[in-house]
């Protein structure tokens, strides 16, 4: 279907729409080939992405996928920073320069960041499975034909 199909089908419950996009880096390289100026290419790619984000939000009521990617990247960076903080606070505690409660708090922060990252990955994975199912699946699973764990001893 054409570009307007998701708009006309947006209130139907028996349809599935997919939004395809490319990476910011690839868009930048393509724009740079056309324009030849780095600063203008970056500005143009960013302004086009912002216009698309607003359009998708207005027409379909959904946030554009780039925000989810940015959130995952931010969560990943947060986990890395919290891992370093935990390592440093453990060293400080072991050398008697920090009390246990503060070192323990660093571990809690790391756990919370890891949990948020896992939940983000879970959401992305679930959405991907929903996409595969909507596109026809391609697999069948019959519980009766699955090998028995008890029989494999």
Could you give the dihedral angle defined by the CA atoms of residues 125, 127, 133 and 139, in that order, rounded to the nearest 10 degrees?
A: 0
Share of the chain above pLDDT 70, in %: 71
**The two structure tokens encoding residue 121:** 């990955």
d(C-alpha 113, C-alpha 77), whole Å = 9
Q: Is the domain defined by 66-129 classed in CATH 1.10.287?
A: yes
As a whole number of angstroms, the distance between CA 89 and CA 18 comes to 45
101-129 average pLDDT score: 87
Residue with tokens 């054409």: 2
CA–centroid distance for 89 within its chain: 30
**Region 91-100 average pLDDT:** 94
Boundaries of every domain in the chain: 1-64, 66-129
pTM over 0.75: no
For range 132-143, the mean pLDDT: 61
The pLDDT tens digits of the residues spanning 7-30 come to 777 777 777 666 666 777 788 888
């Amino acid at each position: 279907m054409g570009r307007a199909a998701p708009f006309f089908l947006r209130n139907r419950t028996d349809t599935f729409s997919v939004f395809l996009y490319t990476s910011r880096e690839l868009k930048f390289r393509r724009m740079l080939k056309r324009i030849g100026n780095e600063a203008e290419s970056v500005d143009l790619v960013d302004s086009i992405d912002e216009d698309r984000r607003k359009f998708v939000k207005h027409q379909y009521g959904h946030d554009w996928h780039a925000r989810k990617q940015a959130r995952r990247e931010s969560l990943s960076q947060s986990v890395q920073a919290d891992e370093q903080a935990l390592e440093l606070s453990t060293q400080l505690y072991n050398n008697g320069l920090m009390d246990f409660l503060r070192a323990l708090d660093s571990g809690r922060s790391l756990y919370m960041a890891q949990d948020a990252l896992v939940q983000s990955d879970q959401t992305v994975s679930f959405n991907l499975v929903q996409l595969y199912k909507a596109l026809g699946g391609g697999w069948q699973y019959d519980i009766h034909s699955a090998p028995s764990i008890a029989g494999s001893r």
